[in-house]
Amino acid sequence: MPFSEKIKEDAMIACGRHCCICHKFCGNKMEVHHIIPQKNGGEDTFENAIPLCFECHAEVGAYNTSHPKGVRFSKTELKRHRDNWYDCVKRGNMAGNTIPPLKLLREEGFENTPLVRITSGIQLLNALSGCCGAQHNYEEPKTREEASIISEFQKEIEYLSDADSLMEESERVLVGFDLNELITKMEEKGFWIFTGRENVFLMGGAIKTPEDFPLLHIYILRKDNLQTNS
């Protein structure tokens, strides 16, 4: 059974017609996904529904268990994405989570990359997954303490962008959890973390013809500045 019109309407209102994973505004281009699939007994309830854009819906469905590659979206993760986003919409904080990228324009083409605020270690690991590296951008620290926490964070990212593809699922749980602590610490010091992926072309080494790879831009921004700017 599909979701009823009433449940779809409730879900559209709750998400503000923004995708619960990538947070972009979708208008008509939305689908309501069953978090627990129907074939596994998933019900057509509001609790089991997550509104997604076409791209994210395809991503969620694309994981191949007989050829595991990348990081699968778990049911609990989908629920958390959805609940976080519904909560943002309810608080009218849609701009609080995604900031207008034009303010941060650095390179041609990058203006189309939405920057998404990262609030958990797992989100950060997912953002890094499959990327050829990370590019750091940060607001200048005002104290030695700020400098050292930004540095600590960057060191962790540098380590993770090398280790990411080698990490076992069981290890990710712990690494993601430990990252939460670091992200919270940064937040307490007044810094928010945003990421955006950009495709870059690389050639050389084993790559004979130019190939595009996602590069992760990481922005460490003072949240006070963001709030007064917007």
* Footprint of Zn ion (CB under 5 A): 19, 21-22, 53, 56
**Shortest approach of Zn ion to residue 57 CB, angstroms?**
8
Could you tell me how far CA 187 lies from the centroid of its own chain? 17
Q: Give the nearer residue to Zn ion in terms of CB position, either 191 or 196.
A: 196
**Shortest approach of Zn ion to residue 55 CB, angstroms?**
5
What residue type is assigned to position 127 of the chain? A
**Shortest approach of Zn ion to residue 142 CB, angstroms?**
36
Residue located via tokens 């505004």 = 25
Q: Give the nearer residue to Zn ion in terms of CB position, either 56 or 122.
A: 56
Between CA 33 and CA 50 the distance in angstroms is: 5
**Maximum distance among all Cα pairs of the chain, rounded to whole angstroms:** 59
Q: Give the nearer residue to Zn ion in terms of CB position, either 130 or 133.
A: 130
Are 7 and 72 in contact by the 8 Å Cβ rule? The answer is: no
Q: Give the nearer residue to Zn ion in terms of CB position, either 7 or 22.
A: 22
Q: Give the nearer residue to Zn ion in terms of CB position, either 19 or 160.
A: 19
Burial (Cβ within 10 Å: 0-12, 13-18, ≥19) of residue 73: buried
CA-CA-CA-CA dihedral for 185, 189, 190, 191, to nearest 10? -50
Residue located via tokens 């629920």 = 79
Are 202 and 225 in contact by the 8 Å Cβ rule? The answer is: no
- Secondary structure (3-state) at 58: helix
E runs forming strands in 16-151 = 30-34, 49-53, 98-99, 115-118, 134-138
Q: Give the nearer residue to Zn ion in terms of CB position, either 22 or 167.
A: 22
What residue type is assigned to position 176 of the chain? G
